[in-house]
Amino acid sequence: MSDLRVRFAPSPTGYLHIGGARTALFNYLLAKKEQGIFVLRIEDTDVERSTQESVDAILQAMDWLGLSYDEGPFYQSERYDLYKSKVTDLLNKGLAYRCYCSADELNAKREAAMKAGGKPRYDGTCRERTDQPEAPFVIRFKTPRDGNTAFVDRIKGTISVENDELDDLIIQRTDGNPTYNFVVVIDDAEMGINLVIRGDDHVNNTVRQIPMYKALGYEVPEFAHVPMILGADKKRLSKRHGATSVMVYREMGFLPEAMVNYLVRLGWSFGDEEIFSMDDLIEKFSLDSVGRSAGVFNPDKLLWLNEHYIKTGDPQRLAGLVAELLEGQGVDIENGPDMSAVVKTLQERAKTLVEMAEGARFYFEAPEIYDETAAAKFLTADKVGVLEMTIKSLSELSSFDVEDIERAFSFVMEESGLKFGKIGPTVRVALVGGTVSPSIYDVVYVLGKEAVLSRLKKALASLG
């Protein structure tokens, strides 16, 4: 086991989105590869927006993706005493100060700075203030004014910012609650996190956090900022690009292995390989192969991967997932055919589990009505003889395997003088209600003798 300690630290203010899931995946893979520790921390300092429902959604999504954590989940809301003690330490050392500037005053300062061609940042009015009036205040960290803050990013290389470009961040609000940039430093240090892998939208936070590590006497960890994910229009991925919640893709019928495979390829590569199992990824993943440019989310590529994993999936496992979907739709599967056999007839064509479940319904629900166009073309008076011969031929079978079924249809073709192309569509409409289904022989075999004869007789009766 190595001394590597990484973490995933989502905010429970909503679902686990695609970008967050990829960050969690990168941390998980590196921890597994290097036999380190993967920590889960819930950053719920945003009291107004954090909900237990969101926490549950995040945990469910990680469980679905197979991203097990070694420690946690830890909750920031349970660590406030620690944060407040650290604020007090900084105040006592003169490394933080009370700021009494009102919101209106701060806005005026920002506007003045922008008019003067500067950045809209706090000007340090209260930085050296010694009086403590009876007025609301926040506590700000005293960012060093001289020198620069630099670090070597494991993905982006050296990043350096002059300290006079940074302002004094608020570390405690007027209500006494600590802020994100402060508590994340304390948590990462106290939890022994020595490599922080997160999105590159945090680069600006990192250069502000490093001086806090030093002021608090903590060792600064390594950082790796992964590129953001863009939509097809090359803008940051958002709801306008479609579903961004991981669990919505589950509802849409995607397999977790397809999602994992797709997410890892948004910014990471291993030669020309496209298909990776989780074991493959644990063996091959490296930050050295994470690119610096943004990944572009392509739903079609995700669909292609899902189709691959359905085609090559274990029918028994897929059967359980499809059964769950059908039961959720109110379909009674108890008295129907074996679900694994059903799945095998649909695997080659289905792109999602939802599509597979929709394609499987006819196995469990005999058609009440027939597709109008299909019936008008294939369930016609001249097909009475075909249906009668098919019923007779199938009825006489002593066994009901695919070879016997094929021989029964061969007999119907000989007796009627018709080719299969004139018989098959009629039988298909009678059995499934329309013109789309797996191979007729497979359908007849999986439905079973009793159900097939019942449906054929019903179709025959409909012709008078």
pLDDT for 118: 76
Residue recorded with tokens 């919505």 = 248
pLDDT for 243: 66
pLDDT for 109: 83
Please, how many CA atoms are within 13 Å of residue 163, restricted to the half-sphere of its CB? 13
Residues β-bridged to residue 39: 7, 71
CA dist., res. 281 & res. 5, Å (int)? 19
pLDDT for 235: 86
Averaged pLDDT, groups of 10, the chain, 464 residues long: 94 93 98 98 88 94 98 96 98 97 88 80 90 94 96 97 93 94 97 97 96 98 96 82 84 98 96 96 97 93 98 98 97 95 97 98 96 96 95 96 95 94 96 96 97 97 88
- Backbone CA torsion sign across 298, 304, 306, 309: negative
pLDDT for 232: 85
- Backbone CA torsion sign across 186, 191, 196, 201: negative
Q: Which homologous superfamily is 79-226 in?
A: HUPs (3.40.50.620)
Q: Strand 37-42 to strand 5-8: parallel, antiparallel, or no bridges (unpaired)?
A: parallel
* Catalytic (active-site) positions: 239
Specify whether the CB–CB gap between 88 and 57 falls below 8 A: no
Q: How far is CA 388 from the centre of its chain?
A: 52
pLDDT for 95: 98
Q: Which homologous superfamily is 5-68+229-303 in?
A: HUPs (3.40.50.620)
Q: Which of the following CATH numbers is that of domain 372-462: 3.90.320.10, 1.10.579.10, 1.10.3720.10, 1.10.10.350?
A: 1.10.10.350
Please, how many CA atoms are within 13 Å of residue 189, restricted to the half-sphere of its CB? 20
Rg from Cα positions in the chain: 32
CA dist., res. 325 & res. 246, Å (int)? 18
pLDDT for 46: 82
